[in-house]
Amino acid sequence: MSQRDGFGRGFVIGSIVGGVIGGVLGALLTNRSGQESVEEKFIEPGQQMKFTTEESMEMARHNLEDKIAQLNSAIDEVRQQLETVNSNSPEQD
C-alpha cells in the first residue's frame, strides 16, 4: 500500500518536471530554427546571401509585384472563361 500512496504524488511531480523540461527544450529548438532570415527563405540559388535592409525590401517588393501580376493574369483568364460560359448558356426570363 505504501507504494500506491507515493504513486500519485510522484506522477504529479514527474508531470510538472517533464512539462518544464519539455517547454524549455521546445523554446530553445524553436529559437534556433527561427534564426533563418527572411532573405535566406526567399533567396534563389546562385544569388548573394547577404543583403542590406533596403536591398531585401526591394527584392521582396519585386517578388510581390510578380505574384500580383500572376494573380491578375489568373483572374483575367477565369473572367474570360466565365463570360464564355455565360454567353453560351440560354437566357432565362
User: What does the alpha-carbon distance between residue 90 and residue 93 come to, in Å, rounded to a whole number?
Assistant: 10
Task: Note whether 17 and 5 are within 8 A (CB).
Answer: no
Angle, CA of 57, 63 and 65, to the nearest 5°: 100
Q: Are residues 44 and 73 in the same domain?
A: yes
Q: Grid coordinates in use for 4?
A: 500506491
Q: Are residues 19 and 42 in the same domain?
A: no
pLDDT for the residue 1:
47
Q: Are residues 41 and 82 in the same domain?
A: yes
Question: Does this model's pTM top 0.75?
Answer: no
Instruction: Show the domain range for 51.
Output: 37-93
Q: Are residues 44 and 57 in the same domain?
A: yes
Q: Grid coordinates in use for 28?
A: 530553445
Q: Are residues 10 and 51 in the same domain?
A: no
Mean pLDDT, 10 residues at a time, over the chain (93 residues)? 70 89 84 55 58 81 92 92 79 56
